[in-house]
Amino acid sequence: MERHKTVQDYIESQADRKDELLFLRDLLLETELKETVKWGAPCYTINGKNVIGLASFKSYTGLWFHQGVFLTDKNKVLINAQEGTTKALRQWRFQSIKEMNPKLISQYILEAIQNQQDGKEIKAVKAKKVDTPLELENKLSQDNVLKSAFDSLTIGKQREYAEHIGTAKQEKTRLNRLEKTIPMILKGEGLNDKYK
């Protein structure tokens, strides 16, 4: 996973989506939002609070509204990428620059800024305990090095592994997932680090 130190580094690394990123960045920079880099990608804040993230992937470029649940979304462009998991975050995805209406995008950006200034916020509620599936629990009890590596991961990374392994319906699949994740755990990597 590549971590970028500046927004320009990030944009330069996304050659296929550079035009879309620059277009959205220009709209964001027209506001009072402060530009920074978080999780290796551009993030726009106000008073130290995350308001909007900017990122690109193979099939789209997106704006992440950190408290997007409060946006009016009259045009029904926002999605919750992890229904049932994500409470506040909403995404707006663009396959090409042709889809980008600057006036409409600016309306969403300004509403997100106003919502943040008004204090509209869903605070993240994090479960303290990780529900470790039996297969992972057994492996950790048999391998002290693996247990030490797993325990040194953040709660979020532990939860990612536990859910990835535990959500498989068949025991064979759970064991297969466990074996594939062991090298990553030993390296101290999170399951989804390469996407962050």
Position 1 scores a pLDDT of: 43
Which class is domain 7-117?
A: alpha beta
DSSP code at position 98: G
pLDDT at position 130 is 80
- Tens of pLDDT, residue by residue over 73-99, are 999 999 997 777 788 999 999 999 999
User: Mean pLDDT over residues 121-146, rounded?
Assistant: 84
Q: Is a pLDDT exceeding 80 seen at residue 129?
A: no
Q: What angle do CA 95, 100, 106 make, to 5 degrees?
A: 135
Span 101-108, average pLDDT:
97
Average pLDDT, the chain: 90
- CA 10 – CA 7 distance, rounded (Å): 5
Average the pLDDT over 17-31 and give the result. Answer: 95
58-62 mean pLDDT: 92
Please check the confidence at residue 31 and state whether its pLDDT lies above 60: yes
Is the distance from CB of 52 to CB of 64 less than 8 angstroms? yes
Where along the chain do its domains lie? 7-117, 134-195
Residue 85: the pLDDT is 75
90-94, strands of its sheet edge to edge: 34-38, 41-46, 49-56, 61-65, 90-94
Task: Report the alpha-carbon distance of residue 143 to residue 9 in Å, rounded.
Answer: 41
